[in-house]
Amino acid sequence: MKPIGVFDSGVGGLSVLAALRAELPHERFVYFADTAFAPYGERGDAYVIERSRKVTEQLIAGHGIKALVVACNTATTAAIHLLRAEHPALPIVGLEPALKPAVATSRTGHISVMATRGTLASAKYAGLRDSFAGTASIRAVPCDGLVKAIEGFDTQAISALCARYMAEAGPFGDATGEVDTVVLGCTHYPLVKNQLQRHAPPTLRFIDTGAPVAQQTRRVLAAAGRLSGGEGGLILQSSGDRSALEAAAARWLQISPQGTTAASA
């Protein structure tokens, strides 16, 4: 049974992986964390494109993947169009900040998007944001350093940065002019959602892309006749410290992989 490849610059894509495994329990997955070359969100497009190509080629050559999920907003905006052009026979699913459901559910029409600078500076994000011009007020909140803190399990830094960026994302509430919806536009951020919620009223909505991406992956596989009905499984790979990835999977998602291997893409 061929697996589905999933990759991110680090452990953030584990939030997407969790949604994928819940939606597709009979599938095998290979998760690749490119931690030796992270973070992507504070790099230029050329760097992200090069890494995305190499990781994709590694997953194809090493595992014969039947589909690919780019579990990284920055890699999606920079590289997914090239990956699709270079691998036309491979179904590829990417991410984008969940502005559409945020706008659809917001009562006040005021939304904050927490994301990396790479995502917020991209033409793809600008086009998505501009498509809602006149419909909603959308505030960008670049969260420098938060990915690094999550990758390093730096509890003190995570707490301080969550407080800082939530302050920038507000004021929160249901009154006119207040933000009632926050889009988590980086796959790392759902991992610290509980920390973010400490600085928000209970009515504030947080929206991420895990479940929609998992549902789209199911649709794509079904259309291609590639859904599996066997026993699911997981392999974790990293270009950096594999034990750190395993620890992150255990800590954030209580995932115990069936097998793990090193990688040098």
- Partner residues linked to 170 by β-bridges: none
Half-sphere exposure of 175 (CA within 13 A, CB side): 4
How many angstroms separate the CA atoms of 228 and 24, rounded?
A: 9
Q: H-helix or E-strand containing 141? A: strand 137-142
Side chain identity, residue 60: I
Buried b (16+ CB within 10 A) or exposed e, 87-109: beebbbbbbbbbbebbbeebebb
User: Pick the catalytic residue: 17, 30, 68, 72?
Assistant: 72
The answer to whether residue 143 is catalytic is no
Say which of 33, 186, 192, 265 is annotated catalytic.
Answer: 186
Which token pair is 183? 């889009």
Q: Which two tokens stand for residue 261?
A: 């291997």
Paired residues of 178 in beta bridges: none
Alpha-carbon distance of 139 to 170, in angstroms, equals 9
Strand partners, 236: 31, 260
As annotated, the active-site residues are: 72, 186
